[in-house]
Amino acid sequence: MHHILAIALALGCLVNATPILAQFSDYKPSKLVGKPCPEIPLENYMLQGDLIAQADMYGRVVYIDFYQTGCPSCEKYGMPHAQELFEKYKDNPDVIVMVVNTAFEKDSRPFTADEAKTKDHLVKKGWTMPVARDKDERCIDEVFGQGTTSGLILDPSGVIRYHQVNLGDEKNIERIIEEQIATLKDTDVPAPYSTHVALADTVRLIGEKDYGEALQSAKDVLEWEERALKETDDKQAKDDEGAENFSNRNPKEAAKVVRHARYLISLITNSFKRRCAHWTRLQTYDPPASIPYGETIAETFRGVDPEFDATAGLAGLATMTDEYKAFVALDEEYQNALKQYEKETTIKGGDASKSVALIKDIAERGKGTRIGDDAMAFLKNIGAATDTDAPSDKTNEADDSIPQEETENQHSEK
């Protein structure tokens, strides 16, 4: 199959790629879609970027591209699209975009496991997204299959919403990601997937939005079950401390409870961190709006982070900062400029060039804030915005560090 697809890709480049891609967009989703994501067997080792563990993913929308160095469909389609998604969402706390680099064909293509070569290749291609290394190739071989290029989307609850060969499926991937982001719009903590009955109280408290108590409940269950796993064969410990302190479940079931407790803890804490990240951004983007937002976080997540609770009452002090005062002054200047523009344009034959120039200046000074965005939107609406130069694109540049023959002939079909 991989030789056929390699030839098809080559022909598609020479003639018309669209019909060729259409043939291979018919890959069916895997049986994992609609189920909680299984353990992702990574060794917490990154080729590029900050460490991302599976525990960091819960409470967020996650897109993972599975990539093998030199795989033609990865190099031409999967990785450039992953980079586009990373650039789009890198500042959005609701989303994680990352790549898992695998080399499950390293026995026949040793260069795919050359980490130094892969790192250099990522730099030369201008791919800056986080890249984890599947050092023992278990992600593809034991868990996800599908080969490369393939993609995985997790919803904020940790359920798989997309898993299949992603060649030519960019529009569908983007649609699913946006749909999942939309579910977080008015959500503090996403509803968890089905967990062990031992965590029923935790799930109930999440449903009641009592997140501080829910977190403590999950931590209590985790401590209980971890202790049971550690000392289940220690008869003397049971006699000394009382059997009521130990789980009567078998080790396999206790391990499941531990896994689910950690999942719920991550779901709550990541949701809190996600909200805090939005709040931090809002303090620069729109300082007045950040004050009620921070107060809402403090009330909603009371008990989740004691340090945050201790400083929650100080949010109102932001109005005394120079940054806050400068924002309010610029906003007032912008509102006056709008009034001036309206006045100038209501006069027959009126000249609005002065007010437009002022709004352009405000847009520049307010870049990266709500005022700057509002001013730019206004200028675009009246046809006075200036287009910026498009960024350079390195994603299709050749890279001599990857053997040309192997690049042209390889497709990673599992």
pLDDT digits (tens, 9 = 90+) for 113-167: 899 999 999 999 999 999 999 888 887 777 887 678 899 999 999 999 999 988 8
pLDDT digits (tens, 9 = 90+) for 373-412: 999 999 999 998 765 434 444 445 555 556 544 444 344 5
101/312: higher pLDDT: 101
Give the closest residue to 121 by CA, choosing from 59, 153, 74: 74
Among 290, 317, 344, which residue terminates a domain? 317
What was the pLDDT predicted at 414? 56
What was the pLDDT predicted at 402? 60
pLDDT band per the 50, 70, 90 thresholds, residue 168? confident
Q: Give the Cα separation of 158 and 192 in Å (integer).
A: 8
Whole-number Cα distances in Å, 35 to 52, 115, 238: 21, 32, 37
Give the chain's mean pLDDT.
84
pTM of the shown model = 0.81
Same domain, 277 and 364: no
Same domain, 139 and 216: no
Q: Give the Cα separation of 197 and 393 in Å (integer).
A: 51
Among 300, 317, 334, which residue terminates a domain? 317
The half-sphere exposure of 317 on its side-chain side, counting CA atoms within 13 A, is: 4
Residue 407 in any domain: the answer is: no
Identify the domain containing residue 234 by its residue range.
Answer: 197-317
Residue 159 in any domain: the answer is: yes
Same domain, 120 and 240: no
Same domain, 205 and 180: no
Same domain, 179 and 277: no
Same domain, 66 and 162: yes
Among 265, 290, 317, which residue terminates a domain? 317
Q: Which of 12-21, 79-88, 131-140, 400-409 has the lowest mean pLDDT?
A: 12-21
What is the domain count for the chain? Answer: 3
Residue 97 in any domain: the answer is: yes
pLDDT for residue 270 is more than 80: yes
Give the residue-averaged pLDDT of 322-347: 94
The CATH number covering residue 140 comes to 3.40.30.10
Same domain, 179 and 42: yes
pLDDT for residue 21 is more than 80: no
Per-residue DSSP letter, 194: P
pLDDT band per the 50, 70, 90 thresholds, residue 252? confident
Give the residue-averaged pLDDT of 38-67: 92
What was the pLDDT predicted at 399? 59
Give the residue-averaged pLDDT of 81-89: 97
Per-residue DSSP letter, 412: B
